[in-house]
Structure 1
């Protein structure tokens, strides 16, 4: 099943070079493994039925990388011996139609978060701008945790801007927890945040309010390019309860030139 789905994916559709001397009809194993964030050895064992009990995160990552429909995604979960996440669970599926939209933004920094602010995926320009997201592990993939407990981000903020952002994130997280009461990882995240951060615990226990949304204007302190002035918009995918974060710059501006340089440097570092 995995092999059949892998064979039908056109490399160019997932941002990979087609290549003139390509023998594989679809994705190579190493390409799918990289897209899904797993090892080639583990993918091989999954395809050959020698690996059992893959995690929900691995199955979901494979479904996204393979551009599976909702029905095919459900088949993949069932084949892995588990039901597809249902009502009461924070959705993490990126529908093929949404993925096609993201593919059109291949040269723009874009990251996708679920309703609990867990990072689902980020493209290469986003990694070039904000740092390699593949290195984020566990709770550090959650934006609330990163801003309160973890590594933070390259976005420059005053203390007030940081506090206002955290208040908005916590308020949104409380609404998400109310919508998805059966999500055990979300409950665990909240418990760990309450234990690790007095600021989070106070916000969580307080009134459900937050400061008004501030300017979309952001300054990103890039280690090689310096300060980059950009606009940051967060788009909601209502049917899938996703948040799509997009960074752009005014055409012809210094920010646009610096962003382009940062993306080029990021691509060179990868190659």
Structure 2
């Protein structure tokens, strides 16, 4: 009776076949029967025996240790998502990153720079504002005038000092649904980054200062929608209704927040007035 196919073995063979000796700095040899690294070459790079790698690929060994999986992942040049998948097929929980990313990937930076006519802000997974367009500054107040700590939306919503009176915070603070959705997203971040001391300190700080936050944090709800239609009060154009969307970039774990107006509406005209104001003020694209 034939041995059933091993998902772990198939995965290892497929990844080994796509790696060349040049990729890993090994001397190239002319005669190769198959593409990719030889089994003994991968075993050497990972610091394991060739026999054990053979047993893994043939499905005779199904439970490699976390250290073996990590060594093979490094040797195979796996991406973050591939490393997570590798752990899962090996019967292990994926590794958790130590800290929340605080840098914008270049691709997101280029996108934001081309969206100058739209209010766009980019937040970390802890909801600290990392970058914004000039339209964001005109619509919601210039973040450059605030410290990095004050640019954290969690602090602003649940601890909001009296001087934080620009439209974003004055409207969002009164929205129970928004607060619940924000805390639900924070709970996901907490699970993804259990070793991030700065994030844990943030949660502890807000929890000690806000009974409402403590109640929401203890609730089991997950997956609430952060976006939706928002009505803001602006000192230049008065009340303005905008569609608020939150786009996540999983690999770098940032949130892109946008505000747009429905075409052909008075709200679009008001947003256009703010674009003119943004052009006159010449506020640059900024980052924290």
Instruction: Determine if the TM-score, normalized by the shorter chain, exceeds 0.5.
Output: yes
2:115 to 105, 120, 133: 105
Aligned to 1:243: 255
Which range is displaced more, 165-174 or 123-132? 165-174
Measured after TM superposition, the shift of residue 96 of structure 1 is 1.3
Normalising by structure 2, we get a TM-score of 0.59
Deviations 1:97-141 (A, max 9, x none): 222222221111100001111111111010011111112224321
Q: Structure 1 residues 214 and 196, CA, compared in 2 at 3 Å: closer, same or farther?
A: closer
C-alpha separation between the residues in 2 aligned to 1:270 and 1:112? 20
189, 194, 211: which is aligned to 1:181?
194
Find the counterpart in structure 2 of residue 154 from structure 1: 167
Q: 1:268 aligns with which of 253, 262, 280?
A: 280
Equivalent positions of 1:60-75 (< 5 A) are none
2:231/2:240 contact within 8 Å kept: yes
Structure-to-structure mapping, 1:1-271, within 5 angstroms: 87-150=97-160, 151=164, 153-155=166-168, 157=171, 162-204=175-217, 206-209=218-221, 212-213=224-225, 216-270=228-282
Answer with 130-139 or 193-202: which moved more: 130-139
Q: Distance in 1 between matches of 2:154 and 2:147?
A: 14
- Work out the CA distance in 1 between the residues paired with 2:276 and 2:213: 37
Query: Where does structure 1 differ by over 4 angstroms across 4 or more consecutive aligned residues?
Result: 155-159
Q: Structure 1: any 5+ residue segments left out of the alignment?
A: 1-85
Distance 1:125 1:207 in 2: 35
Q: Tell me, what secondary structure is at the counterpart of 2:243?
A: strand
Q: How far off its partner does 1:166 sit?
A: 0.8
Give unpaired runs (5+ residues) of structure 2: 1-95, 284-288
What TM-score does the superposition give when structure 1 sets the normalisation length? 0.62
Q: Distance in 1 between matches of 2:126 and 2:171?
A: 22
Superposed CA deviations along residues 52-110 of structure 1, whole A, max 9, x for unmatched, are: xxxxxxxxxxxxxxxxxxxxxxxxxxxxxxxxxx9320012211122222222111110
SS at match of 1:227: strand
Are the aligned partners of 2:167 and 2:234 in contact in 1 as well (CA < 8 Å)?
yes
Check conservation: 2:101, 2:252, Cα contact below 8 A. Answer: yes
Change (3 A) 1:149 1:158: closer
Change (3 A) 1:178 1:158: closer
What's the counterpart of residue 67 of structure 1?
Answer: none
Structure with max Cα Rg: 2
Task: Quote the Cα distance in structure 1 between the aligned partners of 2:179 and 2:280.
Answer: 34
What is the aligned residue count? 184
- Answer whether contact 1:146 1:152 (CA < 8 A) is retained: no
- SS at the partner of 1:141? coil
- C-alpha change, 1:216 and 1:128, in structure 2 (3 Å) is same
